[in-house]
Amino acid sequence: MNVQSPQEVDAIAKEPRQAVETYRHLRMFLIALPVFLLITTAIGGWMLGDFADSISANYDTPLRDILVGVLVAIGACLIVYRGKPVEDLALNVAGFYAMFVAFVPYSLNEVLTGRTILQGQELTDAEAAADELVKVLPVIVISLVVVASVFFGIEWARGLLKRHTMSTSMAHRILFFVTLGLGAGFLILLLVTGLIMRTYAGIHMVAAILMIVGLATAIASHGWDTDAKASTPKIALQYRVIVGFMVVVGLALIWHLTFGLRFENAVAYIEWAAILLFTWYWVAETVRQESLIKTGA
C-alpha cells in the first residue's frame, strides 16, 4: 500500500482551493475586461472627437489595439472557463468566435480600399495599412482555424467531448450537433469569402452574432437550471431577466439593420447595452459561486 507523505497530502488538499482561486480570477477578468472596453471606447471616442458607429468600428481608429487585445483576452477566458456541460460548450463557442470578431475588421471593405476616415480626414497611411492587412489576414484566419482544430482534436482524444455526445439530455445533444453544424457552415463561409472572393467581408458580423448567441445560451443554461433555481433562486431569476434583455437587444439590432434606428451611433449603444448585460451576468455568477463556497455547496 502506498503511504502518502504529509507534503503530498497537503498538496492534494490545496488543489480544490487552487481551482476555486483560478476560476475566481477568470470571473474577475470577465468582469473587468468588458468594463475596460466600454470605458475606453466611450471616453476614447469623446477625446478623438468622433464616436465610432459601433464598438467594432474602432478597428479603424487609434483604439484598434485595445479592441483587438480585449476581445482576444475575453475569448481566451471564455475557452479556459469550465462550467456545466451546456455552459462549457456555449462559452467555448463564444470564445472561438470572439477571435474572429477581434482579427477580422467590421468595415473590411473600407479598410481594404483605403477609405478609413477619422474626424473627417482621410488617414495618410490608410492605403499602406490596407495592403498590409490584405497580406496578413489570410495567415491570421488560417492560423486560427488550425489552432482551433488542434484544440478540438485534443479535447476529442482525451474524451472530454463525450459528455456532450453521450449526454442523457436530448436538448444538450441537439445543441452540440447544431454547434458543430454552425461551425462547419462558418468554415465554409471562410473558404468562400477568403479563397474564392478574396475578401473576408461579412465574417466579422457572422462571428459576432454567433458569439452573442453562445453567451446568451450560457446564461440561459443557468437561468433555467434546476440546481441554480433551488440553491440561488434570486440569482437564477436575474439570469432569466438578463436573457430577456439580451433578446430585446438582439431584436433592436435586427430592427436597425433592417429599417434603421433614427439616432446616431445606434449600433454602438446597442453593443454597450450588450456589454453591460454580459458584465451583469458575470457579477451575478461570481456572487452565486461565492455563496455556494460559503455554504459548502
pLDDT in tens, 84-109: 888 989 999 999 999 999 988 776 66
Rounded Cα gap, residues 157 and 151, in angstroms: 10
- pLDDT above 70 as % of the chain: 85
Rounded Cα gap, residues 161 and 239, in angstroms: 26
pTM more than 0.95? no
Mean pLDDT for all residues in the chain: 82
Cβ contact 56:271 at 8 Å: yes
Q: What is the pLDDT of residues 177-217, one digit of tens each?
A: 899 899 999 999 988 888 777 778 788 888 988 998 999 99
User: In this structure, what are the phi and psi dihedrals at residue 157, rounded to the nearest 5 degrees?
Assistant: -65, -35
pLDDT at 37: 92
Rounded to 10°, the helix 203-223/233-258 angle is: 160
Q: b/e string for 89-107 if b means 16 or more Cβ within 10 A? A: bbbbbbbbbbbbbbbbbbb
Rounded Cα gap, residues 289 and 204, in angstroms: 33
Rounded to 10 degrees, the C-alpha dihedral 246/109/187/171 comes to 10
Mean pLDDT of 109-124: 52
User: In this structure, what are the phi and psi dihedrals at residue 273, rounded to the nearest 5 degrees?
Assistant: -60, -40
Rounded Cα gap, residues 53 and 272, in angstroms: 12
Cβ contact 291:232 at 8 Å: yes
Counted residue by residue, the chain has a size of 297
Rounded Cα gap, residues 16 and 106, in angstroms: 42
Rounded Cα gap, residues 202 and 112, in angstroms: 13
Mean pLDDT of 5-15: 44
Specify the higher pLDDT residue, 113 or 21: 21
- pLDDT above 90 as % of the chain: 35
Least confident segment among 72-86, 166-180, 279-293: 166-180
Helices of type H across 104-200: 108-112, 126-157, 162-165, 170-191
Rounded Cα gap, residues 165 and 168, in angstroms: 9
Q: b/e string for 120-129 if b means 16 or more Cβ within 10 A? A: eeebeebeeb
11: pLDDT strictly greater than 70:
no
In DSSP terms, 118 is beta-bridged to: 121
- Three cell numbers, residue 123: 488617414
